[in-house]
A and B are shown apart, each in its own frame.
Chain A
Amino acid sequence: MPRVGVFVCWCGSNIGGVLDCPALARAAATFPGVVYATDYQYMCSDPGQKLIAEAIKEHRLDRVVVAACSPRLHEDTFREVLARAGLNPYLLEMTNLREHCSWVHAGEKELAQAKALSLIRRAVAKALRLTPLHPGRVKITRRCLVIGGGIAGIQAALDVADAGIEVVLVEREPSLGGKMVLLDKTFPTLDCSACISTPKMAAVAKHPLIRLYTYAEVEKVEGSLGNYRVTIRQKARYVDHTKCTGCGTCWEKCPVKVPDELNFRLSTRPAIYLPFPQAVPSKPVIDARHCRQLTKGKCGVCQKVCPAGAIDYTQQDSLHEEEVGAIIVATGFDLFPWEKAYGEYGYGRYPDVITGLAFERLVNASGPTGGRIVRPSDGREPRTVVFVHCVGSRDELKGREYCSRICCMYTAKHAHQVKERLPEAKVYVFYIDIRTFGKGYEEFYRRVQDEGVIYLRGRVSKIYQEGDKLIVKGADTLLGEPVTIAADLVVLATGVVPARGAEELARTLGISTDKDGFFQEAHPKLRPVETHTAGIFLAGACQGPKDIPDTVSQASAAAAKAVGLLLREEIEVSPLVAWVNQALCTGCLHCQVVCPYQAIEVVTEGGRRRARVKEELCQGCGSCTVACRPGAMELKGFSNEQILAEVEALCR
């Protein structure tokens, strides 16, 4: 039989003024299992703590009940007292006489006294069933994986590496940069996007602590917090980057011309190519789908002209293993595929109906037109330009329910750019609401209106071609009138959706996605860069639509979290976790389905399937214990037996 000691605290007059503490101690001394009970003015004070420690030794106590204030305040304090007295700290049970009794029942002393005794009886009942628990310890691999090399991934990688921690950065495209490097200028300050992002890309390539994989994807992730084993697939580039000097002879001589997807097919590129001039790494890849040598077996021009002998048509995909302790996911976004949904805007049939990102390429000095705003169909400068907001956003019928956050502002920027380059042009913007939440954003929007851009509140119902004009039919809901505009160019502010493949990546990593497919943060307010899977963090638009300032802040926050974790030698994990009674488990895995943290795995032994809890991942919610029918799943510190004993004690 365990030897329980009960310590009733007066908390000065907070408890002692309402409850008769000596009487409580006397009554508690008669409870089964209690070998010692006493009361004292302030249990949490130094002398109070000493009193407990000495009683533990003197009366050989092996369970301690402290009847005082909320365990949310002082559980750690008293656990330390137990530890100092040589007892396992988890052999403590507190009961809350102050917040839950004396402070709220001061007017009914008699009933309060009875309740207090009942609360102590509960604590003793639980204490009798406590077992020693030991926090787990995990050693940490001091390296960080960053997935995605847009501005979010770049910023996070630089921050982590600057803290002295090795980084493995994986980008699936041939170059770093993401969307930002494709943009011309950035709202609201209109600084040149490439000028502020390419130096960061170069810094990544130069950093001695960053190992960069481009044209590569994460294929498998094993392990857990502190120790992940990652398999990376390096796609075949057919160019040996250890030999290539990036001289450019090959892409000048390649005879193939394919529409350039980065320029929305407004220009062409060769089959061996650099995605854009400032690409990092500044070495080419061969697009195997279009290379004549690789598809038809004849050509070989690049191999002949390469002065470094770097071309290798036989190159294969290769797999690489990396060990890391933390992962930052920064896979960004894609644009809503409007061509599939918006028949009334022509399903992408009209060449002069383009997206905002295509417009960025048009106005970009390093884009296909050298920065001239022209119609893709005939190369003429437009005289009337119509912008349409919320294409695929805030449209439950055809698109997504949510607001994409960036489109109001990038459209204002585009409208300004049209006015700047073509002052004579008429510019109309159809909007539903204008959202200018950021620093300097509202001012920018005002400025654009002052420049003569006409904002019309209403949706566009139809766009069709008539001669060389695009007829835009919409409504001005403020005037309550239909509007028809004959435009030369229409730019759609297409919404933000999760990057292609995000769902698969979530499964590979064991993290969850929200209802829209963006990665789910651990808490919407208080843990915005963590995921529910310990050791995996989020940065940038992969967590939800974001502009660059928000993306960069979140990336630095994720880096700080990762660094905070990785600077530790080892981590302690709470012992209040679930465990499976292997004898009772039937292997039904009902528990696995409900676990919010993917903390339950299957083990097969002697042909029998059973559940096993990965303690380093379990957060101790207890959801699984209720899902388990045979009662095999238990939660340490909150076991079925303990809770039922509490119920019985309280109902007596």
Chain B
Amino acid sequence: MSVKEWEPKIVAFLCHWCSYAAADLAGVSRFSYPPNVRIIRVPCSSRVNPQFVLRAFAEGADGVLVAGCHLGDCHYVKGNYYARRRLWVLQRLLEFVGMEPARFQVHWISGAEGAKFAETIKEMVDKVRILGPNRLFQEVKDICVG
């Protein structure tokens, strides 16, 4: 694969109540953003198991985004606080093993923030594009899976 052909691949876990709605609103408002993001709908950011994020990287994602309601606005009240705590630990861990922080991002985007959603994706794609393909987990996977 030549460098020119490479396009960043970003997996986004969005909570149904806020951030998925924000992505819908971005669509309704025709706020365009790069087509590098692929969305998985989860009920709440607290449903995101760090394992899902690791698996995405291992399967070749160049970036992973988790987005949920603003703190205090989670549809399930406390869900995003749990998510914040868990994902913060994961962020530190990924940094520790040498991953660039821009590859794994957590944002709070409300259902009214279509523009913010589009903006977040744009910025993330730009950053990941500069970083290039994610090799770290590819190597790990090659070693583990053989």
Which positions in A face B, CB cutoff 8 Å? Answer: 70-72, 96, 98-101, 103-108, 111-112, 114-115, 118-119, 122, 512, 520, 522-523, 532, 576, 594, 596-597, 619-623, 625-627, 635, 638, 640, 643-644, 646-648, 650-652
Can you name the residue of chain B whose Cβ is closest to the Cβ of A650? Answer: B38
Output the nearest chain A residue to B56 by Cβ-Cβ distance. A647
B111 to chain A, nearest CB (A): 10
Tell which of A621, A643, A644 touches B44, judged by Cβ atoms closer than 8 Å: A621
Asked if A100 meets B27 with Cβ closer than 8 Å, knowing A115-B35, A623-B82, A635-B47, the reply is: yes
Q: A619-B76, A626-B82 are in contact. Are A104 and B47 (CB under 8 A)?
A: no
Which chain B residues lie closer than 8 Å to A520 at the CB level? Answer: 77
Within 8 A of A (CB), among B38-65: 38-44, 46-52, 55-56, 59-61
Residues of B within 8 A of A118 (CB): 38
Task: Contacts A99-B24, A104-B118 known; list 11 others, CB within 8 Å.
Answer: A70-B27, A104-B30, A115-B35, A122-B40, A594-B78, A596-B76, A622-B46, A622-B79, A626-B86, A644-B51, A647-B59
**A119 and B48: CB pair below 8 A?**
no
CA gap between A601 and B39 in the complex, in Å: 34
User: Judging by beta carbons under 8 Å apart, are B11 and A650 in contact?
Assistant: yes
A625 touches B47 (CB 8 A): yes
Q: Is the CB of A647 within 8 A of B46?
A: no
Contact residues in B for A104 (Cβ distance below 8 Å) = 26-27, 30-33, 35, 118
B9 at the interface (CB under 8 A from A): yes
Task: Report the bound CA distance from A96 to B56 in whole Å.
Answer: 20
Q: Are B42 and A651 in contact (CB under 8 A)?
A: no
- B32 near A621 (CB under 8 angstroms)? no
* Smallest beta-carbon distance A638→chain B, Å: 6
Measured CB to CB, the closest approach of chain A to B34, in angstroms, equals: 8
Between A and B, 14 residue pairs with Cβ closer than 8 Å are A70-B27, A100-B24, A115-B35, A115-B38, A122-B40, A522-B77, A523-B75, A594-B46, A596-B76, A623-B44, A623-B47, A644-B55, A650-B9, A650-B40
A621 / chain B contacts, CB cutoff of 8 Å: 43-44, 46-47, 75-76, 79
Q: B17 → chain A, closest Cβ, in Å?
A: 9
Give A98 to B24 CA distance when docked, in angstroms: 9
Residues of B within 8 A of A (CB): 7, 9, 11, 16, 20-21, 23-24, 26-28, 30-36, 38-44, 46-52, 55-56, 59-61, 75-79, 82, 86, 118
Per the bound structure, the CA–CA distance linking A111 and B38 in Å amounts to 12
Question: Contacts A103-B30, A622-B42, A650-B40 known; A72 to B24 CB distance under 8 Å?
Answer: yes
Q: Do A72 and B46 touch across chains, with their CB atoms under 8 A apart?
A: no
By a CB distance below 8 angstroms, the chain A residues around B31 are 104
CA distance A622 to B86 in the complex (A): 14
Minimum CB distance partner of B30 in chain A: A103
A87 to B109, CA, bound (A): 36
- Kindly state the separation between the CA atoms of A652 and B58 in the bound complex, as whole angstroms: 11
Verify A620–B43 contact, CB threshold 8 A: yes
Residues of the A chain whose Cβ atoms lie less than 8 Å from the Cβ of B9: 650-651
In the assembled complex, the CB of B90 is this many whole angstroms from the nearest CB of chain A, namely 11
Q: How far is the CB of A529 from chain B (nearest CB, A)?
A: 16
Q: Are B76 and A648 in contact (CB under 8 A)?
A: no
Q: How far is the CB of B133 from chain A (nearest CB, A)?
A: 12
Given contacts A596-B77, A622-B46, A651-B9, contact A105 B38 (CB under 8 A): no
Cβ 8 A contact of B39, one of A100, A114, A512, A622 = A100
Inside 8 A of B30's CB, which chain A residues have their CB?
Answer: 103-104, 106
B32 touches A107 (CB 8 A): yes
- In the complex, A652→B60 CA distance in Å? 8
Which residues of B sit under 8 angstroms from A623, Cβ to Cβ? 44, 46-47, 76, 78-79, 82
Is there an interface contact between B49 and A638, defined as CB atoms closer than 8 Å?
no
- In the complex, which residue of chain B has the Cβ closest to the Cβ of A103? B27
Roughly how many angstroms separate A313 CA and B131 CA in the complex, as a whole number? Answer: 84
In the bound complex, CA of A621 to CA of B43 (Å)? 6
